[in-house]
Structure 1
Amino acid sequence: MIRAETLVRQGEDFIVDDATETRYQLASVSKQFTAAAALLLVEDGTLVLDDPVRRWIDDCPRKWRDVTLHHLLTHTSGLGHWDDYPMIDLALRVEPSELLRTFDSVPLLYPPGEGWSYSSPAYVLLAHVVERAADTPYRVFMADRIFDHLGLTDTFAGAPGARPNLAVGHDGEGRPLPTWDLDVVCMGAGDVWSTARDVLAWLDALQSGHLLSEPYRTLMLTERTRTGKGPDESGYGYGVFVGELNGRRWWHHSGDNAGFKAFAGNIPELGRRIVVLSNTEATEASALEPLLA
């Protein structure tokens, strides 16, 4: 079934409530969860934001020697996005070591810290760091420290196996699409499945500090680097775009996996949050922007 679910909430009141128990791929909205996982380990004292990735990745390529966790979190590492790695089939699982070698085969776009370019591979590396530092499989860490802790009972990371209530992705013409690999290739970058209500609870947990204590909550949700884009997306925190919408501060992220689109945003001053999850590439989340005004 093709459908798009929208959940908008202001305070305790729902403006639009079209949520079901269906679980969708969150695509790049997943990066919020990855960033939070890394910050939990920083809070624990296991990681440091200025840690070089070579500390946590075996046989780290020489060109990455100056890349830090902060660079990965803010898309300032110099690593490219998927279009820069045309040799990668996003639907085909490979061994993690092979994937990292493929990332290494493409030169950095610029020296670490000297530019900004959105990069899903950077978040894949970040997930590897979380897994290594926690000495726990990434999806297990996510379940133990985030999903279960926050009561997000319909949320999980990675391939779904036999789990129920899963949406099937479709292209813009309504044809089913094969899913991307979520256990290796998109781990940390677009691997989370969830429902609209769980994502709303996630937004509230981030904003309230229920998951991350200070200063880590503020570090995540405020600008850490400029993106060079317009005022609505003037900066990037850790796992979220930050900026202003109609003169009010907001943080948000969109997502686009094969057959799925997602959007999650929060305007703290209004107490307004919006979640859009869809299993068709025909969905345009931007059409719902008036609800955020």
Structure 2
Amino acid sequence: MPKPSLDRGVLLLAQGDEILTSRVTGAADAATASPCTPATRFQIASISKQMAAVAVLLLAERGALRLDDPIGRWLPDPPAAWSGITPHHLLTHTSGLGHWEEYPMIDLAEPAEPDKLLAVFAGVPPLFAPGTGWHYSSPGYVLLARAVERASGRPYAAFLAEEVFAPLGMTGSFAGGAAGRDDVATGHEGGRPVPSWDLDTVSMGAGDVWCTGADLLTWLDVPRRGRLLGPAAAAVLTAPHAPTGRPGEAYGYGFFVGRLAGERAVHHSGDNGGYKALAAWFPDSDRRLVVLTNQAEIDPALLKAELE
């Protein structure tokens, strides 16, 4: 049986500091036939939540915010129903806020005014009291990005650029819309280009980051080597804070913690319109796997085949 292939995108597998597999293939844009290269930036979708989590922890280390602050301290006019929600709840998806399916009135591809977007979130009652359940919530991470802006006094994308990407040497990474940027992959569905989701406001903090494959591999050194954060903050990043309801799996701060392909892992996948992504670190074998593709369809057997 032939090994599953990646039609377009980047796949990197490293063990220790040695690259075992480096594959770049397919078109970055089918309309222009421009190829994917090692310099191509892809939307990493929900893996972006890890950058938001690190931004919050950096500010917490500096005393600019606290993980147990009422989130209303950092948001304009929060509803009473959010009074018990803290950054910790938002980071672990235990706030009670819904995911995109609970907000069908939001068009993920349509730009929105930031405070009006918060008002839409506020108009939907929480699913449960904070800390009493687990429900994956991208809107919760949008709130965290707004909190980072208020606590730092800087636009969220600028904070990531200056405080996260630059110190790590992630020179190909950025957050937000790609207008005017070079080396960006166009998302595809069914082999055809599709418009991007709005990354400046609607997905800010939740799915807004673009990375090269090499940059995302470097990013995994944050949990692997404790880069960027102090020891206490690095430990809390991948601690199993909240059971997800799946056997043996918990959520840390922007990371799933459990088994992946039969091996202990800290990981996250991403799925924006026209893009899919995966970043995983396997501590027992010290392997790191990055998959970035600018198409909505990917062979689910690809991960297992690469790790065997």
| Structure 1 residue 290 displacement after superposition | 4.0
Write the deviation string for residues 45-88 of structure 1: whole angstroms up to 9, x where unpaired: 11111111011111111110100100000000000000110000
Q: Which residue of the partner structure matches residue 178 of structure 1?
A: 195
1:7 matched to 2:9 = no
Number of aligned residue pairs? 289
Q: Secondary structure at the match of 1:14?
A: strand
Structure 1 runs (4+) greater than 2 angstroms displaced: 244-249, 284-287, 289-293
1:68 matched to 2:73 = no
2:23 to 18, 31, 48: 18
Q: Which residue of the partner structure matches residue 251 of structure 2?
A: 236
Taking the aligned partners of 1:288 and 1:203, their CA distance within structure 2 comes to 17
| Structure 1 residue 224 displacement after superposition | 0.8
Q: Which residue of the partner structure matches residue 107 of structure 1?
A: 125
1:128 matched to 2:159 = no
Taking the aligned partners of 1:278 and 1:185, their CA distance within structure 2 comes to 22
1:253 matched to 2:268 = yes
Q: Which residue of the partner structure matches residue 278 of structure 2?
A: 263
1:51 matched to 2:56 = no
Contact persistence 1:206–1:212 (CA under 8 A):
no
| Structure 1 residue 246 displacement after superposition | 6.6
- Show structure 1 runs of 5+ residues with no match: none
| Structure 1 residue 248 displacement after superposition | 4.3
**TM value normalised by structure 2:** 0.91
1:34 to 52, 72, 81: 52
Contact persistence 1:93–1:181 (CA under 8 A):
yes
Letter of the structure 1 residue corresponding to residue 296 of structure 2: E
1:211 matched to 2:228 = yes
Q: Structure 1 stretch 11-20 or stretch 58-67: which is displaced more?
A: 11-20
Q: 1:204 to 1:261 in 2, by over 3 A?
A: same
Letter of the structure 2 residue corresponding to residue 51 of structure 1: D
Q: 1:246 to 1:168 in 2, by over 3 A?
A: closer
Q: Secondary structure at the match of 1:18?
A: strand
1:144 matched to 2:158 = no
Contact persistence 2:222–2:234 (CA under 8 A):
no
Q: Secondary structure at the match of 2:65?
A: coil
Taking the aligned partners of 1:18 and 1:246, their CA distance within structure 2 comes to 20
Contact persistence 1:262–1:285 (CA under 8 A):
no
Letter of the structure 1 residue corresponding to residue 191 of structure 2: G
Q: Secondary structure at the match of 1:215?
A: helix
Contact persistence 2:238–2:253 (CA under 8 A):
yes
The sequence identity of aligned pairs, in percent, is: 51
Q: Secondary structure at the match of 2:277?
A: strand
Q: 1:281 to 1:246 in 2, by over 3 A?
A: closer
1:116 matched to 2:134 = yes
Write the deviation string for residues 204-228 of structure 1: whole angstroms up to 9, x where unpaired: 1332112111111010012011111
- Show structure 2 runs of 5+ residues with no match: 1-6, 25-37
**TM value normalised by structure 1:** 0.95
Write the deviation string for residues 224-252 of structure 1: whole angstroms up to 9, x where unpaired: 11111133xx1000000001347643100
